[in-house]
Amino acid sequence: MSAIDPILLSVYARCFKAITDEMSLSVAKTTRSPILCEAKDFVTGLYDAQGNMLEQTEHLPILAFSLAPVCRHIVDYFGEEIYPGDVIFHNDVFSFGNQNNDVAVYTPVFFGDDLVAWTAVKGHQADIGGAVAGGYNPNAVEVWQEALRIPPVKVYERGKLRKDVWDLIFSNIRFDIVEHDMRAQMGAGRVGERRMLALLEKYGRASFEAHKEALFQATCRAMEAEIAAIPPGVYRGEGSVYYDGRTPGSKFTIRVTVEVRDRRIRFDYSGTDPQTEGFVNGTYASSASATLLTFLQMVNPKIPHNEGMLRPIEIVIPEGTILNAAYPRATTFGNHLCPPNADAIMKALAPVLPDRVTAGWNHLLCSLTTGIDPRTRDRYVDIGFMGLKGGSGAMQGIDGYDHIGMIDASGGVLDQDYEMFEQQTPHRLIQHEYLCDSAGAGQWRGGLGVETVMEIGSDDTQVVVFGDGDFEPPFGLEGGHPGVLNLISLDYPDGTTVVPRNKSLTTGVPRGTLYKQVAGGGGGYGDPLQRDRARVREDLRNGVISLEAARGVYGLEDPGSIPVPPGTEC
């Protein structure tokens, strides 16, 4: 066995990260869909021959932690029939995928005759077949109504394109842009393969294998130390999900029991409500990823993201619950069960980690518009990323982040560029700005949400709404106030106003309709009356809070001569 050099160990860790970062840059520079090249709704990863995580670059963390389980599944699925030059696609939620639209590309890395590693790129595709363009079907009750299922399948074998397989997949997908984006993901995988081979050629196979395991062990010890800092015990929390897309007034509860003992932590969801009849269900991969990314926000952020990080963590999610639906239930909404899952974990650990947890983040409420662009007569699809990004919850000593987006993205999903948005869709952006008084008040306030208004530019437009947060606002902690509710409304040219349900499909929306959206702010932490007076005055000056809130909520008796911006008299 190769001797462990502590300096070389650090070099390996940083090289693994550099490889996934370069893969990420390749995706951003070569993909065409704004979902990928602008919003960066993708992840890149590097894994060993058995599918163990070496490192990841996680623009959207909830995608990332499903890559390693799928990689292990691919190894078992193909067995000895994995060859240099293979390229494998996968999205199947019933073989460890997290969401149908999130399609992964896996590339094996051979050093000589031996399989030594894998590269992987997973991104949210603009379409994946199924009954509804764009992939979100609130009326779905089974997986075949949602998407084309892609179990592990080789699109290249030994370097040769399998044209029949390629055509089978892309003849079932509406938009040509998806084919181009998948080629870009494949290219990024090749970039990672080249860099990994250069690393192996420089240091040798034996050195790689020895230092890889040493890195796993060091990371495991670091995570164990973080867990050991949590008081041993059993802690419980709950989060709520409103409306399954089928039964008005329906509500479901996520229940987690967190057990901390012997430098290990266990998340048990056995008390969670059963799966729904609609598409508001998670997969094990999406729900376990949500658990991991929430917990990682409470530990040292410098811990490397590799297999060793996961060894002291156990996640139990029984099949048949809303977080782990049984085949063949619909599951497209599963990624977006992360916020109530995170709420449950935060509430469970708040009593023992008051300086590590946050108040509630704004829950995702999103829309997807599709139609025919009258300027080009081409089909378009758009996920309204800029309008969905609310604020994060505050924590002890720190205000929440403004306009950061859902907790499952943790800031990884970026806004669309305004000009590019108007080029790529027929819509016209009218307003997009921070919303006064949207943040939950507190000694440390929540992050601000935003208000967005756009004019629909296509006839017979289809608007799919999916999300939550329009029934219950993000919660406050330790006397902090909640944020405001989410809202989406459609003002038709004839004066009619429609407020879609939070899981709904609206067809026939005419050109000239005003689409209006509020993404709420995060919850506050601590008593607002204890907030530093200078900060209250600064928030008033900047239009973050209104004069009424400064006086009535924060108790600012004398605002003095602060110039109050127009429109903050709300």
Per-residue pLDDT 10s for the chain (570 aa) are 568 999 999 999 999 999 999 999 999 999 999 999 988 999 999 999 999 999 999 888 888 888 999 999 999 999 999 999 999 999 999 999 999 999 999 999 999 999 999 999 999 999 999 999 998 999 999 999 999 999 999 999 999 999 999 999 999 999 999 999 999 999 999 999 999 999 999 999 999 999 999 999 999 999 999 999 999 999 999 999 999 999 999 999 999 999 999 999 999 999 999 999 999 999 999 999 999 999 999 999 999 999 999 999 999 999 999 999 999 999 999 999 999 999 999 999 999 999 999 999 999 999 999 999 999 999 999 999 889 999 999 999 999 999 998 887 666 677 888 999 999 999 999 999 999 999 999 999 999 999 999 999 999 999 999 999 999 999 999 999 999 999 999 999 999 999 999 999 999 999 999 999 999 999 999 999 999 999 999 999 999 999 999 999 999 987 765 665 555 455
CB-neighbour burial class of residue 371 (10 A; exposed 0-12, middle 13-18, buried 19+): buried
Which among 270, 269, 272 has a CA at the least distance from the CA of 252? 272
Same domain, 428 and 525: yes
pLDDT at residue 418 in the model: 93
Residue 268 lies in a domain: no
pLDDT of the residue at 63: 85
Last residue within a domain, chosen from 221, 250, 281: 221
* 542, 566 contact by CB (below 8 A): no
**The predicted structure's pLDDT at residue 206:** 96
Is the same domain home to 25 and 159? yes
Q: Same domain, yes or no, for 479 and 543? A: no
171 and 88 share a domain?
Answer: yes
Single-letter code of the amino acid located at 271 = G
Spatial separation of the C-alpha atoms in residues 522 and 446, rounded to whole Å: 4
Coil vs helix vs strand at 139: coil
- pLDDT at site 560: 65
Are residue 500 and residue 414 in the same domain, yes or no?
yes
End of a domain among 221, 236, 252? 221
* Residue 252 backbone phi and psi in degrees, to 5: -135, 150
Name the domain count of the chain.
3
Tokens 């709950």 locate to 238
Q: How far apart are CA 128 and CA 436, in angstroms?
A: 38
Q: Determine the pLDDT at residue 481.
A: 98
Distance, in Å, from the CA atom of 97 to the CA atom of 66, rounded to the nearest integer, reads: 6
The verdict on 508 and 550 lying in the same domain is no
**Quick count: other Cβ atoms within 10 Å of Cβ 428?**
12
- Tokens 């399609």 sit on residue: 103
Rounded Cα–Cα distance for residues 275 and 321 (Å): 4
Residues 349 and 295 sit within 8 Å (Cβ to Cβ)? no
Cα–Cα distance for residue pair 532/536, rounded to 1 Å: 7
**Domain assignment of residue 84, yes or no:** yes
Taking the C-alpha atoms of residue 48 and residue 216, their distance in angstroms, rounded to an integer, is: 12
- Whether 296 is covered by a domain: the verdict is no
* Closest among 264, 268, 302, 301 to 287, alpha carbons compared: 268
- Per DSSP, the three-state class of 556 is coil
Cis peptide before 328 (omega within 30 of 0): yes
Structural domain contains residue 300: no
Does residue 326 fall inside a structural domain?
Answer: no
Do 165 and 34 share a structural domain? yes
Q: Is the distance from CB of 192 to CB of 200 less than 8 angstroms?
A: no
Strand ordering across the sheet containing 514-519: 428-434, 450-455, 514-519, 487-491, 497-498
Residue 23 lies in a domain: yes
Q: What pLDDT does residue 565 have? A: 56
- Whether 560 maps to a domain, the answer reads yes
Of the residues 182, 205, 221, the one at which a domain ends: 221
Length of the chain: 570
Q: Is residue 520 part of a domain?
A: yes
**Is 464:138 a contact under the CB 8 Å cutoff?**
yes
CB 489 within 8 A of CB 483: no
User: Domain span at residue 105?
Assistant: 6-221
Which amino acid is located at 316 in the chain?
V
Regarding whether 495 and 403 lie in a shared domain, the answer is yes
**Per-residue confidence (pLDDT) for residue 406, from 0 to 100:** 84
Residue 338: closest CA among 295, 385, 276? 295
Measured distance CA(273)–CA(267) in Å, rounded: 16
Residue 86 CA to residue 77 CA, distance in Å, equals: 14
**Do residues 388 and 467 lie in contact, with contact meaning Cβ atoms separated by under 8 Å?**
yes
Q: Residue 28: which H helix or E strand, with range?
A: helix 6-30
**Do 523 and 547 reside in the same domain of the chain?**
no
Residue 207 near residue 319 (C-beta atoms within 8 A): no
Q: Are residues 469 and 562 in the same domain?
A: no
Q: Are strands 264-268 and 313-316 parallel, antiparallel or unpaired?
A: parallel
Q: Which tokens sit at 77? A: 């699925």
Residue recorded with tokens 């399954």:
244
Tell me the CB-side half-sphere exposure of residue 118, using CA atoms within 13 A.
Answer: 29
Q: What is the DSSP string of 409-470?
A: TTT-SPPPPHHHHHHHSS-EEEEEEE-TT-SPPSSBPPPP-EEEEEE--STTEEEEEEE--S
Residue 200 · residue 112 · CB < 8 Å: no
Q: Is the dihedral of CA 116, 121, 127, 130 positive or negative?
A: positive
- HSE-CB at 329 with a 13 A cutoff on CA atoms is 23
Q: Whole-angstrom Cα distance, residue 92 to residue 77?
A: 13
Residues 25 and 109 in one domain: yes
Tell me how crowded residue 401 is: count the other CB atoms within 10 A of its CB. Answer: 20
pTM of the model: 0.94
328: which residues sit within 8 A by CB, 6+ positions away? 94, 142, 143, 144
Residues 400 and 516 in one domain: yes
Q: What is the pLDDT of residue 415?
A: 80
| Three-class SS state of 560 | coil
Crossing angle (nearest 10°) for helices 338-349 and 284-296: 40
Which pLDDT value is given to residue 67? Answer: 95
d(C-alpha 534, C-alpha 268), whole Å: 44
